[in-house]
Amino acid sequence: MDESGYVVIGGIEQWVTAKGDSCANPVLLFISGGPGNPLSGLSDSIYGDGYRDFIVVQWDQRGAGMTYGRSPPAPDEKLTIERMTQDGNELAAYLAKRYGKRKVILWGSSWGSILAVYMAKSHPELFYAYVGTSQIVNSEEAQAESYKKLVALATAANDKDSLSVLTQVGSPPWTDPRSFGKVRRIIRKYDAKVTVPPPDSWRRAPAYTTNKAEADYEAGEDYSFLNFVGMHGDGMLSQVNLPKLGTDFAIPVFFVEGAHDLLAPPELARRYYESITAPQKGWVLLEQSGHDPNQAVVDAEYKVLRERVLPLIRDK
pLDDT tens digits, one per residue of 145-185: 999 999 999 999 999 999 999 999 999 999 999 999 999 99
At residue 193, the pLDDT reads 95
pLDDT band at 81; cut points 50, 70, 90: very high
- Per residue in 174-195, pLDDT tens? 999 999 999 999 999 999 999 9
The angle subtended at Cα 84 by Cα 78 and Cα 88, nearest 5°, is 160
Per-residue model confidence (pLDDT) at position 314: 65
Please give the mean pLDDT across all residues of the chain: 97
Identity of the amino acid at 238? S
| C-alpha span between 245 and 121 (Å, rounded) | 7
- DSSP class per residue in 226-281: HHHH-TTS-SGGGG-BGGGG-SB-SS-EEEEEETT-SSS-HHHHHHHHHH-B-SSE
pLDDT in tens, 99-151: 999 999 999 999 999 999 999 999 999 999 999 999 999 999 999 999 999 99
What's the pLDDT tens digit per position in 219-248? 999 999 999 999 999 999 999 999 999 999
Model pLDDT, residue 103: 97
Cβ contact 195:258 at 8 Å: yes
Q: Rounded distance, CA 149 to CA 169, Å?
A: 15
Q: Which domains does the chain have, with CATH numbers?
A: 2-142+193-314 (3.40.50.1820)
